[in-house]
């Protein structure tokens, strides 16, 4: 990034902004000059690419919402229940349950973070789907939905490291990398 900036090169950081460069005046001039694509054709390509981006993100965000609410959050809740039961059993026996308490606090905090992230994602999806301009819709997916997805992903990834692997509803990173 710094090298591109130092050399005066474009440093486009996301797909939407990259797609929008198709219709920059110098690009239109170049494509038109060589009879590759006209200005109208370039605008059509831009619109098609932005629409494809928006549709793809809508599908991915919806899948994330579904997986988060119907698989990850319930698994984390079940695990938290087991930890709480263990904590009560150990405490009733008169022993320290500091480890269970620490784990339960961490897991429930992440569950809250995941749930809040899923609510934010659901809201962002609804608001973005209502936008009629494809350019504004693509921008909203980039600026609102993707950051919400990133937050959900971070909470879920951290929960994966804490929830018992046998209870985790998806293949873990460790399973995908090291187990056949």
What number is the average pLDDT over the span 27-34? 96
pLDDT at 76 over 70: yes
156-165 pLDDT, tens per residue?
Answer: 999 999 999 9
- For the domain made up of 53-178, the CATH class stated in words is mainly alpha
DSSP conformation class of 17: H
Put simply, whether the predicted model's pTM sits higher than 0.85 gets the answer: yes
What number is the average pLDDT over the span 130-149? 98
pLDDT at 30 over 70: yes
Average pLDDT, the chain: 95
What number is the average pLDDT over the span 104-132? 98
Contact 120, 145 (CB under 8 A): no
By mean pLDDT, which of 52-56, 128-132, 168-172 is the weakest? Answer: 168-172
End-to-end CA distance of the chain: 38
Contacts 24+ apart (CB under 8 A), 142-145: 142/14, 142/15, 142/16, 142/17, 145/57, 145/61, 145/121
Domain ranges in the chain are 53-178
55-73 pLDDT, tens per residue?
Answer: 999 999 999 999 999 999 9
């Amino acid at each position: 990034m710094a090298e591109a900036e130092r050399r005066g090169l474009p440093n486009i950081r996301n797909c939407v902004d990259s797609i929008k460069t198709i219709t920059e005046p110098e690009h239109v001039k170049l494509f038109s000059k060589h009879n590759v694509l006209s200005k109208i054709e370039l605008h059509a390509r831009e619109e098609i690419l932005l629409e494809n981006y928006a549709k793809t993100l809508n599908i991915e965000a919806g899948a994330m919402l579904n997986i988060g609410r119907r698989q990850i959050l319930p698994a984390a809740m079940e695990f938290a229940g087991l930890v709480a039961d263990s904590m009560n059993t150990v405490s009733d026996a008169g022993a320290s349950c500091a480890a269970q308490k620490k784990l339960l606090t961490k897991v429930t905090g992440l569950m809250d973070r995941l749930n809040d992230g899923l609510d934010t994602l659901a809201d962002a999806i609804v608001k973005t789907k209502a936008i009629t301009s494809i350019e504004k819709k693509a921008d909203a997916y980039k600026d609102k939905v993707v950051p919400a997805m990133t937050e959900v992903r971070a909470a879920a990834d951290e929960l994966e490291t804490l929830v018992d692997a046998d209870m985790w509803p998806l293949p873990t990173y460790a399973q995908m990398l090291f187990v056949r």
